[in-house]
Amino acid sequence: MSFQALPGFRDFYPEEMALRRHVEAAWHAAAKAAGFEEVEGPPLESLELLKAKSGEAIVEELYAFTDKGGREVALRAELTPTVGRMIAARAAALRKPVKWYATPQLFRYQRQQRGRLREHIQWNVDIFGASEIGSDAELLAVALDALRRLGLTEKEVKVRVSHRGVMAERVRTRFGADAVESTLRLIDKGELTPAQAAELLVAFDVAAIPELDGLYAACEDLGVEGFLEFDPRIVRGLAYYTGLVWEIFDRGEKLRAVAGGGRYDMLIERLGGPQMPALGFGMGDVVLTELLRDTGKLPPGPPKIDVLVVPIGEEMLAPARQVVRRLRLAGERAEAPYSPMKVGKAFQLAESSGARRVVLVGPDEWRLGKVKVKDLRSREESVREVDKL
C-alpha cells in the first residue's frame, strides 16, 4: 500500500517550502512597508457566511460538510467573507481606514489544472473605510511592490484595469438592466460578439472614466503607472465588485491572472455590517510561482548552515557537540555529524550545506583547548582557542 497527497493538494519538500517562504516573505514585506496589519481567521467557516457573500452556486465548489454538531460548514475558498465578518463585528471600534492583510490557505473543490489546484496560499490585502482614489492606487501599488521584491518588473508583468461600475452602467443603458450580469460575464470571458463589443467599447477610454484618470495620476506618484494598461474587458467574474477592477498578468499572457482585485463597496453591508467602502485583492502562490519559474526569477537555495563542525574520531563526538553548542549560542547556524566523518567527506558535506566555515575538532588540538577553523572561501586555516570562535 502506498499513499500520496490527495488530488490537487501539495507536499512541500524543503525546496518547495523554501520557495514558498521566499514568496511569502515578499508579501509580508510589501504589506508591512505600506502599513498593513496582519490578521487571520478560521479555515473552517459556516456555509451560510460563504453563501451570503458568493451565492448559492458556490456550494458546488466548496469542501462542504455537516460537522458532528450538525452545523453546515465548509473550508474557506476565499478570505473575504471572513475578513468582512470580522470588520462588520467591530466596525464602530476600528479606526478608519482599516488596512489588513493575511496569507491564508484556501480550498476549492474543483478539478485541477495548470495554475489552479484544490488548495493554495493566497495573499489577501484589503482596505476598509476608504473611498478616495488614493486607496485604490495604494492597494495596487502594494501588489506590485511584492512582485518587484520578487524580481518582477514592467518587463514581466502588467496590470489590466477597468471599472466594473461604469461598464455595468454602459451595458444597462444599451441593453437594459436585465442584460447586465449576463453581458458582464460574456465580457469577462471575452465572448462578446464583434458587434456587441463595438457597441460597448467604442470611444471608451481612460478619459471617459474619472476614477481611472485619478488612478493613473495617483499611480504615477507611487511610481507604478508603467504597469497599467486600460482594458475594458476586465470586469472580474464576481458580481460584488462595484468600482475599479484590475488583474495582474504576465506580459506574455501565457498564465492565468497572477492577482486580481478591485472595489466592492457593498460587501460589508451585505455581511450584516454598516455601509462601509471596501477594496482589496488576492494573489495566489501557484500562478506566481509558475511565473517566477518561467521568468528565471527563482532564488538560489538558501544555505542550510553557517558552520560545519567535524569530529575527527569517535572520541571527538562529545567535544564537537560542545563546539556546536558554543556556536549556536553565538547565533550561528551550526551542526555536527552524529558519527565521525572522514575529513574529505566532511568538506564535501560542508560545500553542499552552504557552510562558510569548517571547524575541525581533532584530538591533538583539543588537548590544548583548541580547534582548527577553515574558511571555505579564502581557504585560510587557523588554529584557535575554543573560547574565541
Partner RNA sequence: GUGGGUGUAGCUCAGCUGGUUAGAGCACCAGAUUGUGGAUCUGGGGGUCGCGGGUUCAAAUCCCGUCACUCACCCCA
Region binding RNA by CB under 7 A among candidate stretches 14-22, 65-73, 86-94, 345-353:
345-353
Lookup: cell for 55: 451565492
Rounded CA separation 144/297 (Å): 15
CB of 61 to RNA, least distance (A): 6
Helix (H) or strand (E) holding 99: strand 98-102
What is the end-to-end Cα distance of the chain in Å, rounded? Answer: 50
> Considering only residues 105-144, where is the footprint of RNA by CB under 7 A?
106, 108, 110-120, 122
CB of 257 to RNA, least distance (A): 7
CB of 278 to RNA, least distance (A): 14
The correct pick among 207, 226, 348, 369 for binding RNA (CB under 7 A) is 348
Query: Comparing C-alpha atoms, which of 353, 377, 336 is closest to residue 302?
Result: 353
Instruction: Give the count of residues interacting with RNA (CB under 7 A).
Output: 59
CB of 111 to RNA, least distance (A): 4
> Considering only residues 57-86, where is the footprint of RNA by CB under 7 A?
57, 61, 77-78
> Considering only residues 138-177, where is the footprint of RNA by CB under 7 A?
none
CB of 254 to RNA, least distance (A): 9
Question: Which one, 14 or 363, has the nearer CB to RNA?
Answer: 363
The correct pick among 221, 293, 345, 368 for binding RNA (CB under 7 A) is 345
Rounded CA separation 185/197 (Å): 13
CB of 221 to RNA, least distance (A): 27
352 touching RNA, by CB under 7 A: yes
Contacts of 284 (CB under 8 A, 6+ apart): 120, 121, 122, 123, 258, 259
Question: Which one, 67 or 181, has the nearer CB to RNA?
Answer: 181
389 touching RNA, by CB under 7 A: no
293 touching RNA, by CB under 7 A: no
Rounded CA separation 34/222 (Å): 11
328 touching RNA, by CB under 7 A: no
How far apart, in Å, are the Cα atoms of 325 and each of 334, 348, 352, 376? 8, 22, 22, 21
Helix (H) or strand (E) holding 323: helix 317-329
Query: Comparing C-alpha atoms, which of 213, 229, 233 is closest to residue 164?
Result: 233
Question: Which one, 91 or 235, has the nearer CB to RNA?
Answer: 235
Q: What is the DSSP letter of 280?
A: E
Phi, psi of 92 (to 5 degrees): -70, -30
Region binding RNA by CB under 7 A among candidate stretches 18-26, 28-36, 83-91, 102-110:
102-110
Phi, psi of 166 (to 5 degrees): -65, -40
CB of 203 to RNA, least distance (A): 28
Report helix angle 210-221 to 133-149, nearest 10: 50
Rounded CA separation 333/335 (Å): 7
Phi, psi of 56 (to 5 degrees): -60, -35
Question: Which one, 217 or 348, has the nearer CB to RNA?
Answer: 348
**List of residues contacting RNA (CB under 7 A):** 2, 4-8, 54, 57, 61, 77-78, 106, 108, 110-120, 122, 185, 189, 236-238, 256-257, 260, 282, 284, 286, 312-313, 342-345, 347-348, 351-352, 354, 360, 362-365, 372, 374-377, 379, 381
